[in-house]
Structure 1
């Protein structure tokens, strides 16, 4: 059997996103090429479709339950709403990611960052909607995302604050797909999540068996 080579390194432009498929066993490598840049990730099970619509997706609640922590890193597994393992984290150069907060949206900017979207501000939610549209996934089916490299701080009273990402240029997160998946990935559009700047995100797919 001929082994497949890793895909070329691909770049997601600042404040944009993309969608693609992963096969079981493939490793998704997400890289922060310049440092301090968040990437929102969402995945749906490719084999769990009803009338073409997905019924199984990456679940923050199940993932927190089964790992017994909100701080996910190397060795942890990410679960679906049906309690199946979707990803295993193989390598984590940063050690701080968020799975509490939803992807930034038009409403995020209107409520939290006035004057909102009068200037046509992009959002991770909007970019994920575009990324998933070719796969028949509707906006209301996009739940809380895994916000890679996002530095969310929770104090003893439960107050949530967003700090600058601690990721440095070239650091990465590697996730192995444990089932066939439909994936959306962004370069985050929220100033407050990226220390006031917008930069690209790089990614690569290493096929199963490599």
Structure 2
């Protein structure tokens, strides 16, 4: 089958044209200092802050485990991770040098993936296995108690959606702020009937995914109650996957300032039009300064 080119392609020098040499230098352990270490317990959620210019590492501490990640601008939670646009601009399963993009009208990279120990997963390190499975999924979204009730007739309060709701409540956010996720360490794909499938997580103890925070972030992660997804959660073979659940580690690193020379947080998308409506166009940069007092 002929390879069809991607619809969204970077032009040289655009914000999609990632400086790989710069981001590769940020993985040097000698040029960073750990400033926070947290653990997301099994079947629970946790939220934390990551300042711009810092590195976030998510790790499978004791064995394979799937996690559901949300991101918000720390100073303006209306700006949050946009899974579907990231899927278009990057790919359906993200890895090193892919970026996680924010919603309209902001549309800027919130974080850039700089290291991924599962980047060589699959057949001959291709990133895809024999059944079409790939890791770090943007195809699906979080499990939630609403769908679970429809499928099973039962209530369960520790789905990823509920875990994220509890995690962000101390930061003044609500269920309405929880959004589509990046499924870290999760292996998924589409079958021959174009239906979404999930496979057992291929991560092992000590695997990790690292993201460079392009802006000040509020992050939240759910340690999925499905564990490593090796057990069916719904259908005739469903059973409790508690034995497959493991915690996920969270670490935040401050980088040596010399590694950040020439870097600055990205600005909002430069569109200043009025969408064809009458009246003056909104200058979003000026609005940000007015509302939040930040550049």
On whether the aligned pair clears a TM of 0.5, the verdict is yes
Task: Give runs of aligned pairs for residues 1-210 of structure 1, distance below 5 A.
Answer: 5-48=33-76, 54-67=77-90, 69-81=91-103, 82-95=106-119, 96-112=135-151, 114-117=152-155, 120-190=156-226, 193=229, 195=231, 196=241, 197-209=244-256
Taking the aligned partners of 2:137 and 2:64, their CA distance within structure 1 comes to 14
Unaligned residue ranges in structure 2 (runs of 5+): 1-30, 120-134, 232-240, 258-295
Taking the aligned partners of 2:70 and 2:80, their CA distance within structure 1 comes to 8
Q: Which has the higher contact order (CA 8 A, sep 6+)?
A: 1
Q: Is the 8 A contact 2:33 2:255 kept in 1?
A: no
- Match of 2:35, SS? coil
Alignment: residue pair count:
199
TM-score (norm 1): 0.86
- Find runs of 4+ consecutive structure 1 residues off by over 4 angstroms: none
TM-score (norm 2): 0.63
- Match of 1:131, SS? helix
Taking the aligned partners of 1:115 and 1:57, their CA distance within structure 2 comes to 32
When Rg is computed on C-alpha atoms for both structures, the one with the higher figure is 2
2:9 — aligned with what?
A: none
Unaligned residue ranges in structure 1 (runs of 5+): 49-53
Shift of 1:130: 1.2
Deviations 1:6-26 (A, max 9, x none): 135322111011111110011
Q: How large is the RMSD of aligned CA atoms in angstroms? A: 2.0
Q: Is the 8 A contact 2:228 2:245 kept in 1?
A: no
